[in-house]
Structure 1
Amino acid sequence: MAWYQESFGNDYLVVYKHRDLQGAYHEVKKMMDWLDLPQGVEVLDLCCGMGRHSMALAEFGYEVTGVDLSEVLLDEAVKQDVNKQVKWLRGDMRDVPLEQPYDAVVNLFTSFGYFDEDEQNEKVFHEIHRLLKANGRFIIDFLNPVYVKANLVPQSERSEEGLLIRESRSIEDGCVRKRIVISQEDGPDRHYLEQVKLYERASFETMLRKAGLHIDDVFGGYDGQSYDAQTSSRMIFVGHKEG
């Protein structure tokens, strides 16, 4: 079983409990300016996870569909979406079970680079191209690999709901890997791996171009600052489908 099939389960909800809707609203507010689209248009949130950004996009007036592979995370999204603002759908980001094109596709919070082979990761960009209307807009929000390598925190631990969560991080085989150990008094330790393949800007640009996606801007954070390889924590590509 691939790491992402094991890791995005019930324990993930506990490990990332601290990520709140308010933060998602703040991030999405700036993204609305980047998308420059009127309210009411259709937006696909590809790899929506627990749905924080999907629901924020819906609050701002978009018609939103959220797609994710994890049934656990989708169930949590449905639970949080009390007003049924978003359409939720289970699917693999390389082969999304949708035919209709969207005005915009967003892939947020480092939901890319999950696969070992470059060609599998590139399939995601070709799917984004397929799912966009002509001149449709996209946002791909990735980590900045240069910054990650320079600022990696090797070890950390914290307590959450009576659990001890220990996280170790390393750069191996061109990937940033996080190993998570969850301990509790009355049971064995539970182990998880999270892994993202590190692609620098030039590689991203090549892959996007091959997929027929044109880059309009590259931002270094949710505040809209231009990307700087040494100082930016994020690498956020904003652009449109060519033709």
Structure 2
Amino acid sequence: MTEWYEKSFGEDYLLVYKHRDVQGAVHEVQKMASWLHLPRNAKVLDLCCGMGRHSLALSEEGYHVTGVDLSDVLLDEAKELDQDKAVSWILSDMRRLPVKDREYDAVLNLFTSFGYFTKDEEHIKVLQEIYRVLKPNGRFIIDFLNPDYVQQNLVPESSRESEGQRIKERREIENGYVKKEITITSLYGGETRHYHERVKLYTLDAFKLMVEEAGLCIDQVHGSYDEDRYEPEVSPRMIFVGRRPREH
């Protein structure tokens, strides 16, 4: 059976999420760099890099960047944007990375590219892979949604038009997941396309337990790229900054 994330990150994803701009990625990368304190030329893995906005911005900041994603469509888009061939692009599942142990100074997992699976064990596998590929004392950032904020601010339905297409999005919280159903219809006729997205809503404490089980440590939790502190009721994000501990 095809999982939702194998179908949803194709050509239509580029249409639905084209409002995510390069300038925003530059601002976020500069903020992340201030949190991570990485030296120039550090090796950074952008895990679930999508169309590569952050990978390319990281490269511009002077890091050696590898972008990993499961979508060949999004990776093709990233490669097209990467005119200088500055980034290494890898097609891979996030649970099984074709990467050496202790290869990277930092791993980034951004914009809720986590929580896609149904079992906690699968999410822990991702965290274990982050642990495995990090150097001792290597740093990580996992940028996840804040479930309290999602529950209070969920927009059940929205509709807009873009590039001759009508995009309808329906959202609900069900059985511990936030779910989105996307319907795309051409304004000029033709088949309607349907996509689903599903992310498990982990609380702060539940997330911390999984991170600890994978052997990682959390040093800070930020509420957004403009906030220093995470506030459970008002922060839109839970951005975890942590590390793989040094070995004794």
Q: Could you say which TM-score interval applies, normalised by the shorter chain?
A: over 0.9
Question: Corresponding residue for 2:83?
Answer: 82
Question: Corresponding residue for 1:190?
Answer: 193
How far has the Cα of 1:225 moved from its partner?
2.2
Q: Secondary structure at the match of 2:192?
A: strand
Distance 1:157 1:8 in 2: 20
How far has the Cα of 1:224 moved from its partner?
3.4
Q: Secondary structure at the match of 1:191?
A: strand
CA deviations on 1:45-68 (whole Å, 9 max, x unpaired) are 000000001001111110000000
- Taking structure 2 as the reference length, the TM-score comes to 0.97
Question: Corresponding residue for 1:12?
Answer: 13
Where in structure 2 are there 5+ consecutive unaligned residues?
none
Question: Corresponding residue for 1:200?
Answer: 203
Aligned partner of 1:178: which letter? K
Question: Corresponding residue for 1:48?
Answer: 49
Matched, 1:57 2:58: yes
Question: Corresponding residue for 2:134?
Answer: 132
- Taking structure 1 as the reference length, the TM-score comes to 0.99
Question: Corresponding residue for 1:104?
Answer: 106
Q: After superposing the two structures, state which structure 1 stretch, 92-101 or 197-206, moved more.
A: 92-101
Q: Secondary structure at the match of 1:187?
A: coil
Distance 1:148 1:225 in 2: 19
Q: Alignment RMSD, CA only?
A: 0.7
Q: Secondary structure at the match of 2:31?
A: helix
Q: Assess if the C-alpha contact under 8 Å between 1:30 and 1:224 holds in 2.
A: no
Aligned partner of 1:80: which letter? L
Distance 2:150 2:198 in 1: 13
Aligned partner of 1:72: which letter? V
Distance 2:63 2:203 in 1: 31
Distance 1:237 1:14 in 2: 29
Alignment partner of 2:152 out of 150, 153, 160: 150
Question: Corresponding residue for 1:93?
Answer: 94
Distance 2:134 2:93 in 1: 17
Matched, 1:163 2:165: yes
Alignment partner of 1:212 out of 212, 215, 225: 215
CA deviations on 1:129-187 (whole Å, 9 max, x unpaired) are 00100100000000000100010000101101000000010001111011000011321
Distance 2:198 2:58 in 1: 27
Question: Corresponding residue for 2:238?
Answer: 235
Distance 2:139 2:119 in 1: 26
Where in structure 1 are there 5+ consecutive unaligned residues?
none
